[in-house]
Amino acid sequence: MIASRTHSRWAPARSAAWFALGFIVLRLVYRVLFLGANGSGLVLYSGRPLHLDGPFRFISILGPVTTGGLWNALLDALPFAAGILVIGVLVSLVDVRNALARVATWHLGRGVLTALAIGVSTYPSLVTTWRSMRQVHRLRRERGWLSVLGPLFERTLERSSTLAISMEARGFGRSAHEPELDCSAPLDFSDLSLAHSDRWFLREATASARLGELILLTGSTGSGKSTLLRAIAGLHTHGSREQATGSLSIGGADRFTTSVATSSAFVSFVGQNVRDSFVAATVRDELAFALRMQGMPAPAIEVRLREVVQALRLDELLTRRVEELSAGESVLVALGAALVTRPTLLLLDEPLADLDANQATHVVTLLERLAHTTLMTIVVAEHRTRALSQLGSTRWHLADGRLVAAEACAEACVKPSAEAPVGQPARAESTISALVGPNGSGKTTKLFKMALSDPAGIALVPESLGDFFVRDTVAAECSRSDHTARAAIGTTLKLVRQLIPLDNAVFSTHPRDLSAGQQLALAIAIALAAEPEQLLIDEPTRGLDATARANLVEMLNRVSEYVSVTVASHDAGFIELMNARAQAVNA
């Protein structure tokens, strides 16, 4: 109902017409009820009016009704009704949503107008999130909608801070006279240590980047790749639990005293949850946001947009609303929005995770070209080293808080070969089947359709694991799972322990604070607690490094001895690794 309202252009005019009609009817009703429909013409009703008394002595009820009286009432109501209709038609003609996006770039009233634009563009994505969370909760056999409200509200507040960072990083709140940064020294740090919640992710690291250098930042999950990138982007002190020692400079300026808005023209950062960082309503406005914040004139913005659209092949997406984009398309748009300012330093946190093979190859080629021809310095954190192995890039490898640079890395670093199963006997045929296909081909839709058609027999572990969990500790999550699955107390806990070794401290943490691999194990255990005949898993490899993937394959093989397992993935390497029977989905 809500969707149809937002997408039809003439909807405002139509609802205004209904309002206007309702208004006229209301007027007639009041006239008849309160002695106002008396006049010339045919007498339709000729009762005597009833006079009230007390404080209401001025009021009389009912009384004669004539055609002339009704006609007068109608004429009397028309001007106001016409006013309603005119406003509705105007709103339809102007397309308020797009007008808002334009207006949000004015300097006068920028704060209020930007907030208004954010509100209007967040609305549909919130509706989508609400629906998908309801769906995911149904998989957990959670019935009421109150259980969704709490997590949804928390996620919404999280979204607002991601959004704020994204706005600032693209120049919101930038004053006209910002100091220029030195392009010849893009990035330099020495003895840099970074901590988050009392855990030191980086210890006394020293490195620097040259102009046009393409750096591949590797390391296992949780090794601190994101922490380092966020620190370079100037986001490390946005939370309250973060600490840093040593020096870090970008463009010759101290990162810790240079505001994010000041460096917005120098450095661009594409984080992991790009969808939460979209500020504008349409792809075109999203791409132009940073340039508008810089105060660039419209014709120049057009030129830059055309450049980015061509480089990333975004032609067909340009007029789309951001909430309609698939995960892969969102990454491409976010990349475009980062490139549009022609930054000196570009930071990308796992940009390939949501891209299919074709898109990934294209992006990798583009990055290489940018580094070579425009001397852009690029730092990419990535698990999918295979896709990037062709690059003649510098490598920084993170392990146990140490940063190992290119030369010393030869032996220790992750190589493409590490992705192949090591020391495993080649199995004839795994019992796991795989659902493959490019992004947007409908794998997820198909899985949900299967799972919801037979909730008792088929269990689904969705891609958005954060939504799958409904309690705030692992222990509570397990007992909730026992309850909804009507299983004996302790069933889920036992299953988790069979899948992955966990120490006891883990049970009091929030499920969303677990590592990607641990989250997956917990979700699979929850799904298995109800003893389904078939287990479906959607895109399980997101955020997993080579080791974690090998563990996952082993885990899935063990699970597949009890239930039949189907995995949907766009990651050909992983499917090969599982040795699964592949089945393609066509859109």
Partner 1 sequence: MSAVVTSGLPSQQPLPERRPRAIRLERWLVVSASLLAAAAFFWPFFASYAPREAQGLVPIAAIALIPLLAIAVSLTLDRSLRVSRAVALLGVLAAVGSIVRISTVGIAGVETIFIVLILVGRALGARFGFLLGLLTVAVSSVVMGSLGPWTPFQMFAAAWIGAGAGLLPLRRLRGWRELALLASYGLVAAYIFGALMNLWFWPFAVGADTTLSYVAGAAPAENIARFGLYTLLTSTLTWDTVRALTTVVGIAAVGGFVLRALRRVRL
Residues 142 to 181 in contact with partner 1, rule: CB under 8 A: 146, 149-150, 153-154, 156-157, 159-161, 163-165, 167-168, 172-173
Residue 493 C-beta: closest distance to partner 1, Å: 26
Q: How many CB atoms lie within 10 A of CB 112?
A: 10
Residue 154 C-beta: closest distance to partner 1, Å: 6
- Sequence-distant (6+) residues with CB within 8 A of 290 are 170, 171, 264, 268, 337, 340, 341
Distance CA 496, CA 436 (A): 27
| Nearest CB to partner 1, comparing residues 76 and 554 | 76
Residue 465 C-beta: closest distance to partner 1, Å: 21
| Nearest CB to partner 1, comparing residues 84 and 493 | 84
| Nearest CB to partner 1, comparing residues 46 and 161 | 161
Distance CA 567, CA 534 (A): 11
Q: Which stretch binds partner 1 (CB under 8 A): 113-121, 300-308, 354-362, 396-404?
A: 113-121
Residue 62 C-beta: closest distance to partner 1, Å: 10
Sheet holding 433-436, edge to edge: 458-461, 534-538, 564-569, 433-436, 581-584
| Nearest CB to partner 1, comparing residues 146 and 426 | 146
Q: Which stretch binds partner 1 (CB under 8 A): 74-82, 311-319, 377-385, 544-552?
A: 74-82
| Nearest CB to partner 1, comparing residues 78 and 406 | 78
Distance CA 218, CA 451 (A): 36
Contacts to partner 1 from residues 321-350, by CB under 8 A: none
Residue 521 C-beta: closest distance to partner 1, Å: 28
DSSP readout, 238-300?
Answer: SSSSEEEEEEEEETTEEGGGS-TTGGGGTEEEE-S-GGGG--SSBHHHHHHHHHHHTT--HHH
| Nearest CB to partner 1, comparing residues 195 and 495 | 195
Q: Give the position of tokens 């209401």.
A: 56
Instruction: Classify residue 211 as exposed, middle or buried by CB count within 10 Å of its CB (0-12, 13-18, 19+).
Output: middle
Handedness of CA 66, 70, 73, 75 (dihedral sign): negative
398 lies in the binding site for partner 1 (CB under 8 A): no
Kindly tell me which residue out of 17, 43, 103, 120 binds partner 1, with binding defined by CB under 8 A.
120
The answer to whether 515 and 547 are in contact (CB under 8 A) is no
Distance CA 140, CA 98 (A): 39
Contacts to partner 1 from residues 495-524, by CB under 8 A: none
The answer to whether 485 and 491 are in contact (CB under 8 A) is yes
126 lies in the binding site for partner 1 (CB under 8 A): yes
Kindly tell me which residue out of 109, 179, 252, 295 binds partner 1, with binding defined by CB under 8 A.
109
Q: Give the position of tokens 């039809």.
A: 8
Region of 195 (left: φ > 0; alpha: ψ -120 to 50; beta: rest) is beta
Contacts to partner 1 from residues 231-260, by CB under 8 A: 234, 236-240, 242-247, 249, 254, 256-257, 259-260
Contacts to partner 1 from residues 79-98, by CB under 8 A: 80, 83-84, 87-88, 91-92, 96-97
Q: How far apart are the first and last CA of the chain?
A: 26
Interface size with partner 1, residues (CB under 8 A): 95
The answer to whether 211 and 257 are in contact (CB under 8 A) is no
Q: Which stretch binds partner 1 (CB under 8 A): 111-119, 449-457, 560-568, 574-582?
A: 111-119
Q: Which amino acid is at 223?
A: S
DSSP 423: S
Residue 127 C-beta: closest distance to partner 1, Å: 6
Residue 318 C-beta: closest distance to partner 1, Å: 23
What would the two tokens of residue 428 be? 């004839």
Residue 243 C-beta: closest distance to partner 1, Å: 5
Residue 150 C-beta: closest distance to partner 1, Å: 5
Contacts to partner 1 from residues 182-241, by CB under 8 A: 191, 234, 236-240
What would the two tokens of residue 555 be? 């885990």
Q: Which stretch binds partner 1 (CB under 8 A): 102-110, 211-219, 320-328, 544-552?
A: 102-110
Q: Which amino acid is at 66?
A: T
Contacts to partner 1 from residues 12-71, by CB under 8 A: 12, 14-16, 19, 23, 26-27, 30-31, 33-36, 49, 52, 55-61
Residue 543 C-beta: closest distance to partner 1, Å: 25
Contacts to partner 1 from residues 530-549, by CB under 8 A: none
Kindly tell me which residue out of 118, 370, 380, 527 binds partner 1, with binding defined by CB under 8 A.
118
